[in-house]
C-alpha cells in the first residue's frame, strides 16, 4: 500500500510498524511479562491492575521525558485543552484570595490559545494580562522583564507553544527572578 505524505498542522504520519503494534494491542494488551492479557485498553477498568500499570508507566515516562520533579503532580484529565481553561481557574484562582473574594490571576497572552484561556478564566476570577504580543500580531514573545505581574496573584499562565502563530517559549520564565512567588501554570498542549 502506498501511504500518503502528511504535512498537516495537527496529527502527523505515523510509521506503519507503530500502527501495526497499536492495532494488535487494541485487541490484546500485553501485560508486564509481554503476554497478552486478553483485552484491549479500551475494555479495561480504570481501577484494574492492568490499567494501573499503564498509568504508572505513562507517568514515569512523562517525568523522565520532561524532567518533572517528584514534588510535582502529573494529572491525566479528560476534556481536552478547552475544558482545562475552566478547570484551572476554578481550582487555582482562590489560592491566595481572602474569604469571599476571587483570586487574581496573571496571563501572558501570546496567541490564540492563551487568549482563549484568559477569556475563559474571566468567568471565574479577576484576570490581569501581565504581557501581550497582540500589537505585533502575536509573532514575538514579550520579554519576561517587561511582564507586569500582580502581587499575590494565584498563578501566572503561559502557553508554551502557540501553534496558530508559531510562537514558542524556548525556556520557561523564572517567576521568582521576576518578583513573584505564584505558581506557573503552563498550557503544554
> Domain holding 92: CATH number?
3.40.640.10
| Parent domain of 26 | 16-66
Which residues, other chains included, contact 182 with Cβ-Cβ below 8 Å and sequence gap of 6+? 96, 106, 149, 152, 153, 154, 155, 156, 175
The pLDDT of 28-37, averaged and rounded, is 84
Calculate the dihedral angle through the C-alpha atoms of 44, 50, 52, 57, rounding to the nearest 10 degrees.
-120
Joined together, the cell numbers standing for residue 36 give 497478552
Give a yes or no: residue 117 inside a domain: yes
Going by the DSSP 8-state scheme, the letter that residue 135 receives in this structure is G
When comparing pLDDT for 45 and 78, which is higher?
45
For residue 73, tell me if it sits in a domain.
no
User: In this predicted structure, what is the pLDDT of residue 170?
Assistant: 94
Does pTM surpass 0.95?
Answer: no
36 and 90 inside one domain? no
Residues 6+ apart with CB under 8 A from 40: 25, 26, 27, 28, 29
User: For strand 167-168 and strand 161-162, is the pairing parallel, antiparallel, or unpaired?
Assistant: antiparallel
The CA-atom distances, in angstroms, between 110 and each of 154, 159, 173 are 20, 7, 14
Give exposure, 102-115, as e/b (b: 16+ Cβ within 10 Å). Answer: ebbbbbbbbbebbb
Domain boundary among 36, 66, 96: 66
More confident residue, 64 or 50: 64
- 130 and 88 in a single domain? The answer is yes
Q: Is the pLDDT of residue 11 over 90?
A: no
Asked if residue 59 and residue 111 are part of one domain, the reply reads no
Total count of domains within the chain: 2
169, 93 Cβ separation under 8 angstroms:
no
Residue at 5 is within a domain = no
Query: 104-143, pLDDT tens digit by residue?
Result: 899 999 999 999 999 999 999 999 999 999 999 999 999 9
Amino acid at each position: 500500500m502506498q501511504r500518503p505524505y502528511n504535512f498537516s498542522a495537527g496529527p502527523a504520519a505515523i510509521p506503519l510498524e507503530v500502527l501495526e503494534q497499536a492495532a494488535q494491542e487494541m485487541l490484546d494488551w500485553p501485560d508486564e511479562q509481554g503476554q497478552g492479557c486478553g483485552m484491549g485498553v479500551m475494555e479495561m477498568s480504570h481501577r484494574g491492575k492492568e490499567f494501573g500499570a499503564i498509568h504508572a508507566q505513562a507517568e514515569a515516562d512523562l517525568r523522565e521525558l520532561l524532567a518533572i520533579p517528584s514534588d510535582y503532580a502529573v494529572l491525566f484529565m479528560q476534556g481536552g485543552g478547552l475544558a482545562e481553561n475552566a478547570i484551572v481557574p476554578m481550582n487555582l484562582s482562590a489560592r491566595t484570595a481572602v474569604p469571599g473574594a476571587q483570586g487574581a490571576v496573571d496571563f501572558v497572552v501570546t496567541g490564540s490559545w492563551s487568549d482563549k484561556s484568559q477569556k475563559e478564566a474571566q468567568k471565574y476570577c479577576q484576570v490581569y494580562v501581565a504581557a501581550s504580543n497582540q500589537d505585533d500580531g502575536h509573532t514575538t514573545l514579550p520579554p519576561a522583564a517587561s511582564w507586569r505581574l500582580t502581587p499575590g496573584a494565584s498563578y501566572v499562565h503561559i502557553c508554551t507553544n502557540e501553534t496558530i502563530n508559531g510562537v514558542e517559549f524556548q525556556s520557561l520564565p523564572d517567576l521568582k527572578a521576576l518578583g513573584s512567588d505564584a505558581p506557573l501554570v503552563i498550557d503544554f498542549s
